[in-house]
C-alpha cells in the first residue's frame, strides 16, 4: 500500500510517496505552494492509502500516532509556541493534505512521542513543583521519528547492541541515549531550542543570561526568542548555518572558532549520554550534516577517542546509504545511517489504519494529561 509522507522540518518540507521503503515519488515544497505540489506529486504516484505527518511537538498528551481530526489540530495549534520553527509548517501540511485528499486518513506522528516515558532523572527540571504541575514543564525531546528508525536499523546491523547513542545532526540537531531500543536521555528539552548548537538555534543557555537581556539589555521577549531560534547557533557565531560553506573557510579564525564550538558541544552531548547508558557500544550518526560532512564526523570522533570511538576517516560514505565507519582499534562501532523518518511515518499510517496487518484500525492513543493551553504555552 502506498503512503504519502509529509516531513516538516525547521528548514524544509519534504514530500514522499512510499511503497514499503521504496520512494515512488518525491518533491519538496514551500508552505505557499504545498497544495499544488501535492496534486502534482499524486498525479505522478497514483492513489495513496493514507498520509503521515511529522509533527515535532505533541506535548504531554499526544504520545503515539493519531488520526487527524479538528480537535487534534486545535491542540497542535496551541502547542505552536513550543516549536515555532516547526509547528506552523506541519499544520500547513495537514491542512493541505485534508484539502487535496479529503477521503484519505491523515495520521500525525510526534517527534516527542519517542521520549514520552523518559526516566524521571532525565525528564525532570529542577524547578518548583508548582511550576511543573501547572505548566507541564518537562524534557520532551525531539527528532523521535529519526531515533525510532535508527534504533530499528541498528538492531538489524548490530543485533547484540544494547547501549546506543544516536546523534541526529542536521539543520536542527540533538543527541539521544537509546537503551534496548528505548530513549533514556536526550539533549533537547521543553522546546527544540535546547541542547547542542544548531544551524540557527543556540542550544542550551544560562537562563539568567536570557533574563538579563530582558531586564538590563532592554530586549523584548520576541527579540530574545528571535535571537535564540533564528539568529543563534552557527549563524550567530559565523554568519551562516551552512556547514558545507563553513568547512571551506576553516582558515578564517572566526569560522574555525564557530566550528570548534559546534563540534565541542556535540561531543560533550554524546559523552553525557553514555552516563545514562552506563557505557557505549554503538555510535550512530544521522541527519543531513552527519551523513554528508566527513569533516564534522572526523572532528567529533577525535574528541570521543577516550570513549573508544575511532573512525575510518578514509571510508567513503555514499549518499542515501547506511555505512559502517568504525576505524582500527575502536572499541565502539560507528555507523552512518541515512535518516528515514519517512519510513517511520509510513509504518505508523499503515499500523493505525489497519493496512499493515489486515486488522481493524488501531484506536488513537492520548495520554490523560491535558496539553498546554495556548495561554500557558505563550508565556514560555
SS3 17: strand
- Quick one: CA torsion of 258, 259, 265, 270, rounded to 10 degrees? 170
Q: Is 351 an active-site residue?
A: no
| 58, 353 contact by CB (below 8 A) | no
Nearest to 244 by CA among 171, 331, 303: 171
CA separation (Å) from 244 to 151, 178, 281, 290? Answer: 27, 29, 29, 11
Burial grade of 49 (CB within 10 A; 0-12, 13-18, 19 or more): middle
Q: How far apart are CA 267 and CA 25, in angstroms?
A: 36
| 197, 300 contact by CB (below 8 A) | no
| 136, 60 contact by CB (below 8 A) | yes
Q: Which three cell numbers stand for residue 148?
A: 525510532
CA separation (Å) from 186 to 114, 127, 189, 300, 318? Answer: 10, 19, 8, 18, 28
Q: Which three cell numbers stand for residue 267?
A: 561531543
Q: Which of 111, 185, 322, 342 is catalytic?
A: 111
Say which DSSP state 306 is in: G
| 16, 25 contact by CB (below 8 A) | yes
Nearest to 114 by CA among 90, 82, 149: 149
CA separation (Å) from 126 to 130, 139, 208, 339? Answer: 11, 11, 15, 33
Say which DSSP state 361 is in: P
Which positions are annotated as active-site residues? 111
Amino acid at each position: 500500500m502506498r503512503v504519502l509522507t509529509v516531513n516538516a522540518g525547521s528548514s524544509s518540507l519534504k514530500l514522499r510517496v512510499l511503497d514499503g521503503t521504496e520512494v515512488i515519488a518525491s518533491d519538496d515544497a514551500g508552505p505557499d505552494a504545498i497544495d499544488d505540489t501535492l496534486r502534482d506529486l499524486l498525479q505522478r504516484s497514483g492513489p495513496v492509502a493514507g498520509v503521515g505527518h511529522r509533527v515535532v511537538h505533541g506535548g504531554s498528551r499526544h504520545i503515539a500516532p493519531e488520526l487527524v481530526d479538528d480537535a487534534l489540530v486545535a491542540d497542535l495549534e496551541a502547542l505552536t509556541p513550543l516549536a515555532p520553527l516547526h509547528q506552523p509548517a506541519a499544520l500547513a501540511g495537514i491542512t493541505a493534505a485534508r484539502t487535496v485528499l479529503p477521503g484519505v486518513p491523515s495520521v500525525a506522528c510526534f517527534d516527542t512521542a519517542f521520549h514520552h516515558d523518559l526516566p524521571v532523572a532525565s525528564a525532570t527540571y529542577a524547578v518548583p513543583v508548582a511550576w511543573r504541575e501547572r505548566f507541564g514543564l518537562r524534557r520532551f525531546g525531539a527528532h523521535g521519528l529519526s531515533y525510532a528508525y535508527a534504533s530499528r536499523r541498528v538492531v538489524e546491523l548490530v543485533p547484540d547492541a544494547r547501549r546506543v547513542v544516536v546523534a541526529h545532526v542536521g539543520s536542527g540537531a540533538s543527541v539521544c541515549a537509546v537503551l534496548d531500543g528505548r530513549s533514556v536521555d536526550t539533549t533537547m528539552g521543553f522546546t527544540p531550542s535546547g541542547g547542542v548548537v544548531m544551524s540557527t538555534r543556540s542550544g542550551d543557555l544560562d537562563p539568567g543570561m536570557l533574563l538579563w537581556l530582558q531586564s538590563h539589555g532592554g530586549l523584548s521577549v520576541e527579540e530574545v526568542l528571535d535571537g535564540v531560534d533564528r539568529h543563534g547557533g552557527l549563524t550567530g557565531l559565523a554568519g551562516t548555518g551552512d556547514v558545507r560553506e563553513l568547512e571551506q573557510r576553516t582558515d578564517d579564525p572566526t569560522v574555525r572558532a564557530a566550528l570548534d564550538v559546534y563540534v565541542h558541544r556535540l561531543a560533550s552531548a554524546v559523552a553525557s549520554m553514555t552516563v545514562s547508558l552506563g557505557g557505549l557500544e554503538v555510535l550512530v550518526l544521522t541527519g543531513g550534516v552527519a551523513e554528508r560532512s566527513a569533516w564534522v564526523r572526523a572532528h567529533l570522533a577525535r574528541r570521543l577517542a577516550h570513549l573508544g570511538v575511532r573512525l575510518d576517516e578514509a571510508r567513503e560514505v555514499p549518499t542515501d546509504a547506511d555505512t559502517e565507519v568504525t576505524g582500527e582499534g575502536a572499541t565502539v562501532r560507528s555507523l552512518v545511517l541515512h535518516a528515514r523518518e519517512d519510513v517511520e511515518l509510513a509504518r505508523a499510517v499503515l499500523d493505525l489504519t489497519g493496512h499493515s496487518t489486515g486488522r481493524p484500525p488501531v484506536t488513537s492513543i492520548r495520554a490523560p494529561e491535558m496539553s498546554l493551553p495556548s495561554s500557558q504555552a505563550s508565556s514560555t
